[in-house]
Amino acid sequence: MPNIFEFTLTNIEMVKLMAGIRANLVLQNGMVFEGVSFGAEVASAGEVVFNTSMVGYPESLTDPSYYGQILVMTYPLIGNYGIPANDYSIAANNYESDRIQVKGLIVSEYSIKYSHWQAEQSLAQWLKAANIPALSGIDTRRLTQVLREEGSMLGKIVFDEEIEFYDPNRENVVKNVSPDTVTYLGNGSKRVALLDMGCKLSILRYLLEWDVEIVRLPYDTDISKYNFDGLVISNGPGNPKQCPRPIEMVKQTIAKGIPTFGICMGNQLMALAVGANTYKLKYGHHSQNQPVKEVGTDCCLITAQNHGFAVNEDTIPDGWSPWFRNLNDGTNEGLIHHSGKFMSTQFHPEAAPGPSDASILFEKFMRLL
């Protein structure tokens, strides 16, 4: 029989979870879901969205596109392979930014015991160190049904204190995830400007595989002051219409004829820059298995996605065409100019997590430089 003083941290977590520190997820429509805390015991508010991925929670939780959101994982068991070392460098290939970006995490069952050759801590330890709340024991199937039927909505994780709801789509949240200074990466013969709206590190990893120097620019940079051979507009959180300055910068770059590639929010910003419109999806696309089809071909890709807004195809101007469409709901998944020099995808060609079917699109862009 083990000595009570020889308990591991995992044993201590188990005791605390069994003790049942209760907290509630309160939705804007008045519904309340009671769960057990396994993260930080702090209140938090944001937009509640669901993700249908089976794996990849370290990457998803550090994806800047989730800033301002409470993430619901539909896969019933989360935490079973733990968390790798806290190395947030580009080379480490473990995370998509330098910190956890979500406002909270909701799961059906949290796995206290974990096993993976890279694991150095539990998911609970990681969340607590970052001061992020998380609830287990929630009926995520029912919760997801509510979000699918009524649409993504605001919510809050509360313990004893009361807090207000928070809507990240009503303000510019990109400023919270974009870098403060200009940095240079790589030492290639071509220069690529990266307009960082909250760029996932895997985008940088793919770009650095090529013979390029990357100029990583804050979202509000006057990019006309820099010389570059191509522009990449990254993913990012929130409503693209809250970012008028990047829209103007993209418009100017396209007018100069400089090859441009937009990813996720970059797709939306490019659309707004050329005169098209965007709109809020009912519950967004947050998964690793979204099928998209290249318009005019039989080419289908299985893609990773994480967005709550989309481009209205009816507003795409002359000279531009839809590039991909989502085979689940028919929504736009990318734009391409008739010259072939300007293109964008709503999905993530870098995946992370997810399939790498679309990574070849980085090569398509690089060959334009």
Domains of the chain: 4-169 (3.50.30.20), 174-366 (3.40.50.880)
Residue 300 appears among annotated catalytic residues = no
Residue recorded with tokens 């760029």:
199
User: What is the distance between the alpha carbons of residues 263 and 215, in angstroms, rounded to a whole number?
Assistant: 17
Beta bridge partners, 302, equal 291
Percent of the chain topping pLDDT 90: 92
Nearest-Å Rg of the Cα atoms of the chain is 21
Question: Is residue 197 within 8 Å of 246, Cβ to Cβ?
Answer: yes
Residue 348 appears among annotated catalytic residues = yes
* C-alpha closest to that of 340 among 231, 245, 252, 261: 261
Q: How does DSSP classify residue 348? A: B
pLDDT number for residue 161: 86
Beta bridge partners, 287, equal 305
pLDDT number for residue 29: 97
Could you tell me the pLDDT band of residue 7, with boundaries at 50, 70 and 90? very low
Q: Averaged over 147-167, what is the pLDDT?
A: 95
User: What is the distance between the alpha carbons of residues 124 and 82, in angstroms, rounded to a whole number?
Assistant: 9
Structure tokens at 273: 């820059």
Residue 2 has pLDDT above 60, yes or no: no
Q: Averaged over 228-247, what is the pLDDT?
A: 98
* C-alpha closest to that of 217 among 265, 249, 252: 249
Q: Reduced to 3 states, what is the DSSP secondary structure of residue 111? A: coil
* 96, amino acid identity: E
Residues in the chain: 369
Question: Is residue 180 within 8 Å of 158, Cβ to Cβ?
Answer: no
Question: Phi, psi at residue 265, to the nearest 5°?
Answer: -60, -30
User: What is the distance between the alpha carbons of residues 299 and 315, in angstroms, rounded to a whole number?
Assistant: 24
pLDDT number for residue 11: 56
* C-alpha closest to that of 157 among 113, 112, 200, 127: 127
Q: Averaged over 8-24, what is the pLDDT?
A: 65
Average pLDDT, the chain: 94
Residue 199 appears among annotated catalytic residues = no
Residue environment code for 133-142, b if the CB has 16+ CB neighbours within 10 A, otherwise e: bbbbbbebee
Structure tokens at 159: 């313990």
Q: Averaged over 247-265, what is the pLDDT?
A: 98
Residue of 13, 264, 286, 333 with catalytic role:
264
Tens digit of pLDDT for each residue in 108-122?
Answer: 999 999 999 999 999
The pTM (predicted TM-score) of the whole model is: 0.93
Expressed in angstroms, the distance from the first to the final Cα of the chain is: 67
pLDDT number for residue 41: 96
Could you tell me the pLDDT band of residue 12, with boundaries at 50, 70 and 90? low
pLDDT number for residue 10: 53
